[in-house]
Amino acid sequence: MSDGNLEGESRRQAVRVTDRVLMSVNEVTAEHLARLRADFERGIPPYNQEGLTEVQVYIGAQTALAHIRQRDEDLGRFLQHLDTKINMLLQKAEGGNSPFDALVAREVSISSTGLSFPADESMAKGVILELNLVLLPDYVHIYCLAEVVDCRRPDPDEGSYANNVCCRYVLIMEEDREKLVQHNFRQQSLALRNRRLGKAADGN
């Protein structure tokens, strides 16, 4: 690949947007990272590990429901109610929280090389985080590991009361990196279109 192509690819991957995603965050050990890296080098994707199946089933159902709602809003709403009821019954039957209960909506600054997000607690540099990201509105699931490279303490004088945790990905599938690139381009295009529509409305 030529230097020009490399620079173009670097700029492409560096595209960053502020977005609202569903996200779960868990600290993992260096041993867990080493084990996943060893599997990754043998061609075993991280999605095959225990504990992710339930998350993938949930996200797959939400993806299907989103597509149905686009075609038939009433049917999609009805099926969403059924899905919610089933999840509640399963939670009671299992006597605890399921993995997707940890998914919460967060505002993040995200690119295909890393992300930053607000957190109530401070995190030390070098900590390895296990991330489940769900890109909306299409419910695209991305599992990856990231290293904390900075954690800025809140500044009450600026009206900020949450730590800002900055991470870089240390284990992510290339297909997922490309999904992030495509998602960010779509979000940029949507924001640009909305700004143009807003200006047009103001002009009227």
What average pLDDT does range 19-28 have in this prediction? 92
- pLDDT higher than threshold 70 for residue 91: no
Total of domains in the chain: 1
What average pLDDT does range 112-130 have in this prediction? 93
The answer to whether position 52 is within a domain reads: yes
The answer to whether position 93 is within a domain reads: yes
The answer to whether position 11 is within a domain reads: no
- CATH code for the domain in which residue 86 is found: 2.40.10.220
What average pLDDT does range 57-76 have in this prediction? 80
106 CB contacts (<8 Å, ≥6 apart)?
20, 21, 22, 23, 117, 118
Most confident range (mean pLDDT) of 11-15, 98-102, 183-187 is 183-187
The answer to whether position 127 is within a domain reads: yes
Averaged confidence pLDDT in the chain: 82
The answer to whether position 10 is within a domain reads: no
The answer to whether position 73 is within a domain reads: yes
pTM here? Answer: 0.75
**CA dist list (Å): 202 to 195, 196, 197, 198, 199:** 10, 10, 9, 6, 5
The answer to whether position 195 is within a domain reads: yes
In 3D space, the residue among 19, 14, 25, 18 whose CA is nearest the CA of residue 120 turns out to be: 25
Per-residue pLDDT at 15: 79
The answer to whether position 4 is within a domain reads: no
Q: What tokens does 51 get?
A: 């504990």
- pLDDT higher than threshold 60 for residue 175: yes
What single-letter DSSP state applies at residue 153? P
Q: What are phi and psi of 174, to 5 degrees?
A: -60, -35
Contact 73, 83 (CB under 8 A): no
- pLDDT higher than threshold 80 for residue 12: no
Compute the distance between CA of residue 28 and CA of residue 104 in angstroms, rounded to an integer: 19
Range of the domain at 132: 16-203
Per-residue pLDDT at 153: 82
What average pLDDT does range 36-52 have in this prediction? 84
Enumerate the H helices of the chain as residue ranges.
3-13, 30-41, 53-71, 73-94, 174-203
Q: Which of the four pLDDT bands, split at 50, 70 and 90, describes residue 188?
A: confident
